[in-house]
Amino acid sequence: MLTHKQIWSAIDALAAKNGMSPSGLAKLSGLDPTTFNKSKRGAPSGKPRWPSTESISKVLAATGASLEDFVALVGRDKGARTHVRLVPLVGMAQAGSRGFFDDTGFPAGAGWDEIPFPDLVDEHAYALEITGESMLPVYRDGDRIVVSPAANVRRGDRVVVKTVAGEVMAKLLTRLTAQKVELKSLNPAYDDRAFALSEIAFVHRIIWASQ
- pLDDT the model gives residue 39: 85
| 200 within 8 A of 177, measured Cβ to Cβ | no
- What is the block-wise mean pLDDT of the chain (211 residues), using blocks of 10 residues? 84 81 89 89 88 91 87 67 74 90 90 79 91 90 92 94 95 96 95 97 91 58
Cα–Cα distance, 140 to 136 (Å, whole number): 6
- pLDDT the model gives residue 38: 85
Reported as half-sphere exposure (CB side, CA atoms, 13 A), residue 209 has a value of 23
3 state DSSP class of 8: helix
Q: What angle do CA 101, 103, 109 make, to 5 degrees?
A: 35
- pLDDT the model gives residue 83: 60
Beta strand 84-91 with 126-129: parallel, antiparallel or unpaired? parallel
Fold of 4-75: 434 Repressor (Amino-terminal Domain) (1.10.260)
- pLDDT the model gives residue 119: 64
| Burial category of 21 from C-beta neighbours within 10 Å (exposed 0-12, middle 13-18, buried 19 and up) | middle
Pick the CATH number of 84-210 from 1.10.3720.10, 1.10.287.130, 2.40.50.140, 2.10.109.10: 2.10.109.10
Return residue ranges of the chain for CATH 2.10.109.10.
84-210
- pLDDT the model gives residue 84: 64
What pTM value is reported for the model? 0.64
3 state DSSP class of 55: helix
Q: Starting from the edge strand earliest in sequence, which strands make up the sheet with 113-118, in order? A: 113-118, 84-91, 126-129, 144-148, 200-210, 158-163, 168-176, 180-184, 193-196
- pLDDT the model gives residue 111: 86
- pLDDT the model gives residue 193: 97
Can you give the length of the chain in residues? 211
Return residue ranges of the chain for CATH 1.10.260.40.
4-75
- pLDDT the model gives residue 86: 80
- pLDDT the model gives residue 181: 97
- pLDDT the model gives residue 29: 93
Question: What distance, in Å, lies between the first and last C-alpha atoms of the chain?
Answer: 24
Cα–Cα distance, 12 to 8 (Å, whole number): 6
- pLDDT the model gives residue 9: 87
Residue 113 Cα distances to 86, 109, 122, 139, 200, angstroms: 9, 11, 18, 20, 25
